[in-house]
Structures are given as structure tokens and as C-alpha cells.
Amino acid sequence: MDLYEHQARQLFEEYGILVPRAEVTDSPRRARAIARGLGGRVVVKAQVRTGGRGKAGGVRLAEDPAAAERTARQILGTDIKGHPVRAVMLAQPVDIESEFYVSYVLDRAAGRFLAIASAEGGTEIEEVAATRPEAVARIPVDPAEGVTSAKATEIVRAAGLPPRAADILIRLWQVLTREDAVLVEVNPLVRTTRGQIMALDGKVTLDDNARFRQTRRGEQEDPHTDPLEAAAAARGIDYVKLDGEVGVIGNGAGLVMATLDVVADCGARPANFLDIGGGASARIMSDGLSVVLSDPDVRSVLVNVFGGITACDTVADGIVRALDTVRATKPLVVRLDGNNAARGRAVLGDRAHPLVHQATTMDEAARLAARLADTT
């Protein structure tokens, strides 16, 4: 669960990290009043759960309260990387002497955390990391040991940060561990002309498995912005829209992920992730197929099911039901294996729909779906 910037800065404040004065609103008129209270000149920042706001026009300087109102009106309601802007944060500007980058991220493969830091923070940090990786320090952190004063000093020296940043690193580690986070990032962390170390921006991602402990942070959850995701969610279906042309349906997250990889290996791009679950009914299968077929980007659909709790004939019944209710104009490749697979294949064979193709293996099904997508 990603937090908004204003939620992240609130966390930082709670843990003693200095941040600029700021306030959030969804009203341009209120933005004028906030700017007046902050001294007139403010930075207006779109509140969306994605990066790259500055380059997308979502972060702008307003010289006075009237300009703050105009700027808020211009930003509110816009779209940044698929995220509609419903609120803006107005913050006091600060005089910056130096910009730095610091973060902690969970390294799942290594079973530990990784501290990433650089003396060259700001909007170009990704380019710095790509072109001059030596300018970015990556220090492993043992979760059992944590970030002690000695570890914080090690990170500071490796990255070339000011010594006073060590205290910030310790406090950010407390945010990470006490708030069930898997990512804590400050970009930029700045030294002001007055010598203060201050977090100007923040990104915090909480562990979804700890959501029950973090309900106060989830009060402003974004609704589904993609209409297909919203339609799937309304039906209780686990669906994520991707940018490809082969629709993918499977039962079980692991099988679906493997199917996405096999489709990609065949030179095609998956159009979605859709998991009908281990005990899905014919209705769930029908609803899932209806969502995928309604995606205009989809040129073919691959249904990959291993029958276990969900028997293959139940899946086949769902496919037939969907074909009876949805006008199918895209080819459908079905691979059934496991419990009642033969019976499921027979159900589809009896239906004899001209757009339905059956395959016996996952590789064969993926190759056929990729080929059909390329020719459709």
C-alpha cells in the first residue's frame, strides 16, 4: 500500500524528521487561504501515488496566494500516469544548498533490507544511477541488527552524505520497521542554506500483509481508476490491467505469473493478470472472461487452468456460459489439465465455437495465443 506524500511526511514528522510546513486541500479557493497562511509563496504538489510528478507538471511554484489558487485549479482533475489528481499539497519553499537521496528497500531475494543513498539527489537520480552507478551507495542492512549509529555512519560515508544525515537514517529506519513498511524513500533530502537537514519529499510503501495494523493509513485508498479493473473488482475478481495484447486467465497466482512469462517468451505481451482462484465457480470463470474480452487491446485470450479444487469441466462450463452471453470476436486458446480435464475438453468440443482453440500444454497454448494475436 503506497502512501500519499502528505501521509509520508506526517510519518516523518512523527519520528522527528524535519519537513516543510504544508497543508492539503481539494479546493482551489482553500489553496489561496492556505498559501496566505504559509507566507504567500508556496510549492503546489499533486497528491498521487506515483513518481514523476514534477516532469508531468504536478509540482509547481506559486509566487503568491492568487497564483496558488490558479495553480491548484490547473493541477486538480488532471491525470498523472493514470492517476487522477484529487488533492494538492501546498508547502513552504526552502532555500536549498545541497540535495541528497536516501532510501531503504526490502531485498526479498537476499532476505534483508538494502540502504540506497547518494550525494546527488533530485529528479535526475534515476539517470545518475544508470549512467554513474558508482555515485549511488548500496549498503545491506541485517534486519536483526538494524540501523545503529555505526551502520548509519557507514551509509553516510559510503554515499558522501553530511554527517548530520546519520540521525535521519536512524529515524527513517524506525519508520520502516515500526510502520510495517517495505520501502521508505526521501528524494530529495536537502541541506538548506541555514544548515538544516530536511525531507522535501517522501515515498512510503507499507506491507499489505500488515494492512490490519495500519488502518489509519488506508483511509484515503484510491478507487480503481481503470474501468476494467473496477468492473473486475465489482465481481470479486483479482485482475490487473497490463499493456499487452494477449489476455491471460488462470487459476492460482503462481500459474498466472508463469503463464505471463511463457507468453512473453513467445514474443507476445500479456494484456492482463487475472486469477480466478483455486475454487472458482463457473460464474467466476464467465465473469472473468467477459472482463478480458471487453478489453479493446486484447487480440487473443489464453485460458490456462490446472484442475484441482476447480475442476476443468466447471471451467469449461463457465467458458461456454460466457460465449453464450458475450459476443466473442477474439480467438480463445484453452489449455485444461488435471481434475476432469477430459470432461472439460469434451464440453468445449461439443460447443464447437469457431473462435475456441484447445491446446494440451502451456507452451503450445502460449505459442498459439501469441500467433493468433499477431494475425488478428
Reduced 3-state DSSP string for 266-287: CCCCECEEEECCCCCCHHHHHH
Higher pLDDT, 65 or 318: 65
First to last CA, the chain: 38
- Asked whether residue 301 carries a pLDDT value surpassing 80, the answer given is yes
Residue type, 310: T
Residue type, 323: L
104-118, 119-133, 153-167, 258-272: segment of lowest average pLDDT: 119-133
What pLDDT does residue 216 have?
61
62-71, 148-157, 285-294: segment of lowest average pLDDT: 285-294
What pLDDT does residue 220 have?
47
Grid cell, residue 90, equals 501546498
Higher pLDDT, 147 or 220: 147
Compute the 3-state secondary structure of the chain and give helix, strand, coil in percent, each to the nearest 5: 40, 25, 35
Rounded mean pLDDT of 200-211?
86
Grid cell, residue 286, equals 464467465
What's the chain's average pLDDT?
90
What pLDDT does residue 1 have?
80
| DSSP-derived secondary structure letter, 203 | E
- Asked whether residue 225 carries a pLDDT value surpassing 60, the answer given is no
Query: Of 43, 99, 52, whose CA–CA distance to 71 is shortest?
Result: 43
| C-alpha span between 230 and 212 (Å, rounded) | 23
- H or E stretch covering 309: none
Q: Where are the beta strands (DSSP E) in 298-355?
A: 300-307, 332-338
Q: What is the pLDDT of residues 98-115, one digit of tens each?
A: 999 999 999 887 889 999
| Beta carbons of 40 and 93 less than 8 angstroms apart | no
What pLDDT does residue 376 have?
66
- Asked whether residue 219 carries a pLDDT value surpassing 60, the answer given is no
What pLDDT does residue 28 have?
95
79-88, 95-104, 262-271, 320-329: segment of lowest average pLDDT: 320-329
For the chain, give the number of residues.
376
pLDDT band per the 50, 70, 90 thresholds, residue 224: low
Query: In this prediction, what percent of the chain has a pLDDT beyond 90?
Result: 66
Residue 182, φ and ψ in degrees, nearest 5: -110, -10
| C-alpha span between 315 and 304 (Å, rounded) | 10
Residue 4, φ and ψ in degrees, nearest 5: -70, 160
What pLDDT does residue 214 have?
65
Query: Of 34, 33, 32, whose CA–CA distance to 68 is shortest?
Result: 32
Residue 314, φ and ψ in degrees, nearest 5: -65, -40
Q: Which residues pair with 42 in a beta bridge?
A: 62
Q: What is the pLDDT of residues 14-64, one digit of tens each?
A: 999 999 999 999 999 999 999 999 999 999 999 998 888 888 899 999 999
| Beta carbons of 174 and 15 less than 8 angstroms apart | yes
- Residues labelled as active-site residues: 101, 185
* Cα–Cα distances in angstroms (integers) from residue 43 to residues 5, 31, 46, 89, in the given order: 13, 11, 10, 8
Torsion, Cα of 218, 224, 225, 226 (10° steps): 150
pLDDT band per the 50, 70, 90 thresholds, residue 234: confident
Residue 74, φ and ψ in degrees, nearest 5: -70, -35
Number of H-type helices and E-type strands within the chain: 12, 18
Higher pLDDT, 317 or 236: 317
- Asked whether residue 217 carries a pLDDT value surpassing 70, the answer given is no
Query: Of 191, 19, 31, 28, whose CA–CA distance to 92 is shortest?
Result: 19
pLDDT band per the 50, 70, 90 thresholds, residue 266: very high
| C-alpha span between 80 and 60 (Å, rounded) | 14
Question: Is there a cis peptide before residue 223, judged by omega within 30 degrees of 0?
Answer: no
